[in-house]
Structure 1
């Protein structure tokens, strides 16, 4: 017997709240439903927090339901209130460019064929010609001020020194209107989103109930955290983006590879489509053979392949091995080496710099004398070839694709230097 979708989502840790478990289960059992999830273009790329929502909707589609993927060309112009401080209002033309970029990031995850084909929608379509009077009379009349100011983010902002603008205060009206419009256009009866969006989700369910007299549903997913309760999705260099130009496939792969044993199984449940049996088998290996890090390698491969494709995932694996002396550096292309440099902190040096200067500038050693000691001890490498001459000058015959040179001390300390003429 196939596991019920809600039971699978619960096992994967993907249910924080619903507007009613029994009612939602009954609706899902009655036949395919139409659901939606919204993404605001507040940056030129989505990040791995957004990936939780995309993959959750994909699970609904695989179970036979019909997704609407909304990119908010209108709500992106307003800005969802943050817990602290006003958002910067981006120019209209910039937001519209970001809409197209984000649309392109979402589409590969969805199927646009068959009886439950996905559909991309943009709320700018039904708001751009609406007058202020229409908004207030046809939509605003259903909202109660007491309910609006009780929303968590709004309440916190109202009690802060910076307060909240009417623009951001009105965001929940705009998002609520999306649900109503999608119900009217496509029969949409479920919205999904992160738990931090719960107030906005229920704005939509309440508006649709009042305006149309029907009960619709909302489901929120928990915010993903580490086992120690700290924030997930950030590295020392910042947010982990889905755009390969903003977070390289190599850096993306390394992010997942570096997850702790305490976190890796929960991330496999959320971010991959591996079965319960496959994940439970990896859980045993984490407990019995943690040093092999098989679960982490599986997680890194699965998520990188989902987001960037198998070729990019294999490139990240090859680069990871080659950088540490277990593969052929010459096979790595400029983009891959550039991604490695982005992650490891690549530096520029003029052609003709010495190996000592390269080791120090790349941060591999602390001083010229430490570099000379490393070379003398046989622990310094250029492009995985041991160096025994502290006076070695780096030039064109040492460069890899893009002018990069890989310098290493021992097995673990690696840096990239780009030689310029």
Structure 2
């Protein structure tokens, strides 16, 4: 399927500055495009994934993506979509985060071959600008009224915006001009909240070059759920692409719990399944929603893409063990992932009675309640029901010598650490 038609099918086109002109340019051969990622944290999150994968779709169609890490703009702060001023980070922190994000981007883009992607950092050119050059050669191209009319600025006028964040639009525009002149970059893509910054960049290119500028802007919809809330958040916070911040199991669970109303849209957004495959999953969703086949496929495809085949298998294994109650089949590493957020207790005793452990870990509020729970079969040790009042907990009850999982009732899990 032709690239723009595929993007349209997937709902990935929000705004384009010149759709006909862009289509013509794409059809004439390889085009260089870029998208910027400011290092405001040490990892990208799932909300960034849509723009990263859109870059990948362009690359698979034969075009050259530039992944720009904002080592300079990350020091300033983008006011887009923010109600208050960002906290400014130290340069060393921003540099560290820039390197980590650059590494994450390499997971999704191919940096070898004819359409090899290239990672660039805008600190390399913005960091060299002196204030006089910036004001005379760049800033003079921006009218104050023009900037005040942009949504990213206008939305902050009442709450307040510093000159620092006000200048962000000019810096991002300069990025586009620099890449236009030095990398033959003709297209900038970004989320819909970047439309003002992107069109400002096009205006700077037009004013700064003698030739008729052939540059384009393209935005992708911001991902929202059917209930109107922002995609990418869970009870524990953001869903990160870094496995240390959001485990593959948590990542998989977030996706498998997608609402029926959202799953087809997300299959189009985040997977490389064909339209025929997606249509088939949509039909099954309509006829047998209880099977959650579409959600399982979404979780499998995206978890594998972000974390790899082995991590996907591990996430599925943890999910299966928790559903079946066969906890003893899990490894210590899988226990860490699957029980990351359950109440825990560190036991320093080599041997302790089950009843005393229930009290010490506050699984049971009293010995009387603890005895009742054991006698009524409400206590499970590593998935196995225990009704022995005199049960002693020993090293035999520890998974890889590190953990014991105690369940009280049907759903209340507790992690005992040693």
TM-score band (shorter)? over 0.9
**CA 1:292–1:377 in 2, change beyond 3 Å: closer, same or farther?**
farther
Do the aligned residues in 2 keep the contact of 1:330 with 1:400 (CA within 8 Å)?
A: no
**CA 1:375–1:149 in 2, change beyond 3 Å: closer, same or farther?**
same
4+ residue runs over 6 A deviation: 357-370
Over the aligned positions, Cα root-mean-square deviation in angstroms equals 2.2
Q: Provide the residue aligned with 1:105 in structure 2.
A: 104
Does structure 1 residue 194 correspond to structure 2 residue 191?
yes
**CA 1:22–1:362 in 2, change beyond 3 Å: closer, same or farther?**
farther
Query: How many Å apart are 1:105 and its aligned residue?
Result: 0.5
Question: What SS does the aligned partner of 2:230 have?
Answer: coil
Q: Provide the residue aligned with 2:155 in structure 1.
A: 156
Question: What SS does the aligned partner of 1:418 have?
Answer: strand
Do the aligned residues in 2 keep the contact of 1:351 with 1:394 (CA within 8 Å)?
A: no
After superposition, the C-alpha distances for 1:75-108 in whole angstroms (9 at most, x for unaligned) are 1111111521111110100100001100110101
**CA 1:393–1:231 in 2, change beyond 3 Å: closer, same or farther?**
farther
Q: Provide the residue aligned with 2:33 in structure 1.
A: 35
Question: What SS does the aligned partner of 2:40 have?
Answer: coil
Q: Provide the residue aligned with 2:201 in structure 1.
A: 204
Question: What SS does the aligned partner of 2:129 have?
Answer: coil
Query: How many Å apart are 1:202 and its aligned residue?
Result: 1.2
Does structure 1 residue 173 correspond to structure 2 residue 170?
yes
Question: What SS does the aligned partner of 1:417 have?
Answer: strand
Do the aligned residues in 2 keep the contact of 1:34 with 1:189 (CA within 8 Å)?
A: yes
Q: Provide the residue aligned with 1:262 in structure 2.
A: 261
Query: How many Å apart are 1:211 and its aligned residue?
Result: 0.9
Do the aligned residues in 2 keep the contact of 1:319 with 1:329 (CA within 8 Å)?
A: no
Q: Which runs of 5+ in 2 are unaligned?
A: none
Q: Which runs of 5+ in 1 are unaligned?
A: none
Q: Provide the residue aligned with 1:145 in structure 2.
A: 144
After superposition, the C-alpha distances for 1:149-182 in whole angstroms (9 at most, x for unaligned) are 111121121112xx01100010011111111011
Q: Provide the residue aligned with 2:344 in structure 1.
A: 347
TM-score, scaled to structure 2: 0.93
Query: How many Å apart are 1:230 and its aligned residue?
Result: 1.5
TM-score, scaled to structure 1: 0.92
After superposition, the C-alpha distances for 1:222-242 in whole angstroms (9 at most, x for unaligned) are 111111212211000100001
Do the aligned residues in 2 keep the contact of 1:362 with 1:415 (CA within 8 Å)?
A: no
After superposition, the C-alpha distances for 1:257-300 in whole angstroms (9 at most, x for unaligned) are 11111111111111111111111111111111111111111111
Does structure 1 residue 7 correspond to structure 2 residue 5?
yes
Q: Provide the residue aligned with 2:276 in structure 1.
A: 277
After superposition, the C-alpha distances for 1:16-69 in whole angstroms (9 at most, x for unaligned) are 111122221122122211000110000010000111110011000011111000
